[in-house]
Each structure stands twice: as C-alpha cells, then as structure tokens.
Amino acid sequence: MSSGSRGTWVLMFLVIISSMFIYNSVSKLDPYSVKKKRMSEKVRKMFYHAYDNYIMHAFPHDELKPLTKTYTDSLSELGNLKLEHLPQEYNGSALSLIESLSSLVILGNHTEFARAVLWLSENLTFDVDARINLFECNIRVLGGLVSAHILATDSTNRLKKGTYENQLLDLAEDLGQRFLPAFDTPTGLPYAWINLKYGVMENEITETSTSGCGSLILEMGALSRLTSDPRFENAALRALRKLWSMRSSLNLLGTTLDVETGEWIEHSSGIGAGVDSFYEYLIKGHILFGREEFWRMFQLAYLAVQKHFRHGPWYHEADMRTGRATFWQLTSLQAFWPGLQVLVGDIAAANSSHREFVHVWNKFGVLPERYLLDHQMLHPTEKYYPLRPELAESTFYLYQATKDPWYLEVGESIVDSLNLYTRVEGGYASIRDVTNMELEDHQHSFFLSETCKYLYLLFNDSFLANQNYIFTTEGHPLPVLSSWHEKLPEAYILSNFTSIKSEEQPKRSSAMSLQICPDAKNESVESACHIADTSADHRCFADEDCGVDSTTCRRRSCSMAGYCGLWLLI
C-alpha cells in the first residue's frame, strides 16, 4: 500500500471513528432523543389540530365547540355561577387565541405569533358590558397578554422591528385598571365578579374562593413591574396579606369566604379546587419577585398541608380549625401538587403522589374530576374530564428534576389517551363521562395554553435552554429577572442550588428552613421538611435528640424506651 493510500485510509478511519464517537456520545447524553423528537412532533400536531379548528370555526369568539364546529363566548361564563346576558354586539375576546400566544412561541411559530399579536393589537377591546370572573380573567387573559408582551420584546427579536409598540402591554394595563374596583372592599379582598365596563354591580355576590383572592400576585405584580404602576401589585398584595391573616392556628385556610366581612364560609379545605393556586403563587411569587414574605407564608402553609392533609401518597380534605379529615377524595386539580413539590426539591413525596394519579389515569383512561378514596369509586356526578393539564404539568416537572425515562412513558400514555378518546374532526372534545367516554362539545382554552404546552416541553425543552421561567397557573411563562427581585435569595444562586454550608447556620435544620434544594446525594435528607434524628440508630435521651418526620413533617419525640418516633400519634 502506497503512503498516499495509507494516508487516505487512516484519514477515513479517523473520520469513521470520530463519527461513531460523536454518535455514541450523543446517545449516551440522551438515549431517548429519537423518541422525544417523535413525541414532540406528535404533540405539535395535536396543538395545531386544536388551534387550527379554533381559528376556522370559532375565532374571534372565546372557545371552540369541536363536535358541532361552532363557538362559545365563555369568558363571562367562567365560574359556573349565575350569568348575565352578553350584549348582542359582543363578539368574544378571542380567549383561545390569547391563551395560545406563548404556546406558538414555544413551538417556534413566530410568524403565527406575529399575526396573532397584530390582530389583537388592532381589534381587542375590554370596553364591553360583560360580567367576568376576576380570577379566571386574570390568569387567562391578563396573564396571557403580559407573558406575550415579554416574549414579543425579548432579545430573540421574534417580531419585525417597528411592528410592535407595546400594544399588548397597553391592553393588559387597560384590563388591570378595570380589575381595580373589585378590590374596593372593607377587607381589601376582591369581589369574584366584576363588569368590565361598569365595575362592581349592585347587589354583587360577596362570596369568593381562597384561590380567587390569593392567586393574583404573579400577573398583577408583573404588570406593575412592566408599567411602573404599583397599584396592581399593591392591590393583589393587600388581598394576599389579608387572606393569610385569616388562617387558623394550624396555618390552614378554608375554601370560600365573604369579601366584605372577612369571615370564612366553607372551613373544609385541601389542595384542590378553590385553594390550589394559592399555594402555587406563594412559592412562585417568591421565585419571581424574591419576597421573603412569600417564602415564610409558603413554608408554614406547606408544612401544614403535609401535616394535616397527607395520608400516605394521597391528600384528603380537612377542617381548617381542627385538622380533622372531612372528605377522602382525589380531584383532578390536585395533580398539580407534585409539580409544586419539585420546586422545593421534595422529589420523593412528589413521585409518590404522582404515581397514584397515574394509576387512576390508567384505570379509567383519563383522570376523572373526582374519585372517592374511601369508597374506591367515582363521584356519582363528577365523572367528567375536561382536558385538564395538571397531570401533564407534574410529569414535565418531575422529568426535568430526575430525567427518569419513566416520566416520558407517562407522557406518551397521556398523549395516546387524548388522541384515542378526545380527538374529533373539529378539534379535541372534553369527556362527559369517563365510564363510557361520552364526549362533551367543549374544547377549553387551557388545552392550548397548558395541556399541549406541558406535553411538548416534556419531550422538547429547548425553549428553556437559555432563560429561567416560572409558569403561571394557566401555563403562561414569566422570566425570572434579577431586576424584578427586591433581593435575590442566596438559595437561588445557581452554584449553591443544592447545598449551602455556613458556620452561622444551625446544624439541625431542614432544607426548607434553610431555603435550599435537598441534596439528592445525601441519603439522610429524605424530604424538604426532614430533619434526621441525632443518632443513626434513632436512640435518644430527650425530645431534642429527635428530628422531623420526612413524610408527615411532624416533630418526632423520645419514648420512655429511648427511641425517636411519632409516638404522640399512636
């Protein structure tokens, strides 16, 4: 073999070896890349099947009725309370379009995003005689506009220069100003319903939910930071502080209350409907704005939930005054909780509950709205599944935290079920009865803003590569910016994210009290609230030698025999 041939052969050999090395390296880095690409494309098609049918059959009205290929103007109907009739000239608020804005960006469709922004800029108005639910309008419309404005003005230049002049922010500010009269109550707690044109109506109902007045701080706080108008954040903050002052001695809150008297109406509470996003916005408000006040609230509230609501992997409801169980039931909205637990690093607890939700999903094919744990049966009247996103959301968070491929399998199962049971020619329909998969003629806007988004991000998280975001309870991304922080907590400095050591810190403190993510490599730390016993064999001389139980978050005590345990509960 000539030297030239030998040189060519060696070069070819090196190229082949290099190619094999690169391929093997990529495979080792992410052996599931092929599957993730296939599934992300599958979810992309799901989103556009829902979105295109909305644009074709329902736009500019609020939501699509996929079975009849018509529309519903649902913005003033959210909340299932007595409704006022909309004026005949009302053509909807393009709710599903607003809810789709950030999803379009995450899917990389900047052209459609630009078209949607232009249409909203030229056509959307809130000067209409329509009675709307404050909480729902805040998380869906205000949150959608604020998030889309940020995405339209960030450094990626998604919109052509000169075509966008803060029109979405102007709309958001106008809407926020229309919200403010709702907070004009003796307590500062806002009315649940308000007329966009005329404010609070005469003889308006005074009952609202804990979520309704305690889950406004992200959207209204972000609006204040963007407009330099503190009224929005101040109104939401005053309501949140008042609500927190109404907690029981157990640090529990009820479900419904009177905004004028500040008295509780429903004392039974849990982590599901009416309360869920209250907990969510405490921790996310702390991350977004750096307020230590929010963290202190969340820490006490989270520990109270773990102590009084948790029973094994399940969470029941209990009386806020006594902590006694009231209803043993699983609700589909509770499925957000594992995702919240990921944010505080309580991965073991999150995984435990998540697997139970997956079990129920597999049992019925989807997640029923309410399942009676004490009877192991469906609730007789709440057997529906309205395309909710909470299980997909928690699956996304847990995969981000663990990279366990089992969560990809769960996501694939969710996608397959949605396509099998809910996809119709005109979009995706809700399920009226999970026992026979009878369909209901409604494609909720959150299917576009949350369900498809979290499933897509599970398989393709490239949107998150260069920016930290928190997602609102409606799935709208808000960037975590140091300029929005009153002070950046030490615990969120990236280099110290899992472990912070200081001689000044107490030796026996939980990860939660230290505001750090539990170190997964430290086997002695089993949860965010866990404090290990002084001795590895659990021997003790006094209660001070005992720690905090990792599951119930209750303080352990020393028995007469000299062992730590939850003896007071036996």
Known binding residues for Ca(2+) are 473
**Could you give the CA distance from residue 428 to residue 50 in angstroms, rounded to a whole number?**
6
Query: Could you give the residue ranges of the DSSP H alpha helices within 422-531?
Result: 446, 452-459
Calculate the alpha carbon distances from 356 to 315, 331, 360, 374 in Å. 11, 12, 6, 15
Determine the 3-state secondary structure of 55 from DSSP: helix
Quick check: is 369 catalytic?
Answer: yes
Active site residue 543: no
Taken in order 122, 95, 166, 229, the sign of the CA dihedral is positive
Q: For residues 124 and 114, what is the distance between their CA atoms, to the nearest angstrom?
A: 15
Catalytic residue of the set 99, 276, 356, 474:
276
Cα 57 to Cα 63: distance, rounded to the nearest angstrom: 10
Q: Catalytic site residue 136?
A: yes
Residue 470 CB neighbour total at 10 angstroms: 19
The residue among 473, 392, 394 whose CA lies nearest residue 46 is 392
3-state class of 71 per DSSP? strand
- What are 266's strand-pairing partners? 256
Q: Which contiguous run of DSSP H or E holds residue 178?
A: helix 167-179
Question: 461 an active-site residue?
Answer: no
- Active-site option among 73, 77, 136, 533: 136
Q: How far apart are CA 92 and CA 74, in angstroms?
A: 8
Cβ partners under 8 Å of residue 34, min gap 6: none
Q: Of the candidates 335, 321, 311, 412, which has an alpha carbon nearest to the alpha carbon of residue 36?
A: 412
> Which listed residue (62, 390, 440, 533) is catalytic?
390
Separation between Cα atoms, residue 501 and residue 46, nearest integer Å: 47
For residue 136, the number of C-alpha atoms closer than 13 Å in the C-beta half-sphere is 21
How far is Cα of residue 514 from the mean position of the Cα atoms in its chain? Answer: 24
Q: Which of 73, 77, 317, 369 is catalytic?
A: 369
Q: At what angle do helices 390-402 and 452-459 cross, to 10 degrees?
A: 20
DSSP state of 310: E
Strand 423-424 versus strand 438-440 pairing type: unpaired
| 559 close to 553: Cβ distance less than 8 angstroms | no
Binding residues: 473
| Contacts for 287 with CB less than 8 Å, ≥ 6 apart | 343, 470, 480, 492
Show the tokens assigned to 561. Answer: 């025999």
Torsion of CA 103, 106, 110, 116, to 10 degrees: 10
d(CA 175, CA 66): 29
Q: What angle do CA 123, 127, 130 make, to 5 degrees?
A: 110
Alpha-carbon gap, residue 218 to 201, rounded angstroms? 26
Catalytic residues: 136, 276, 369, 390
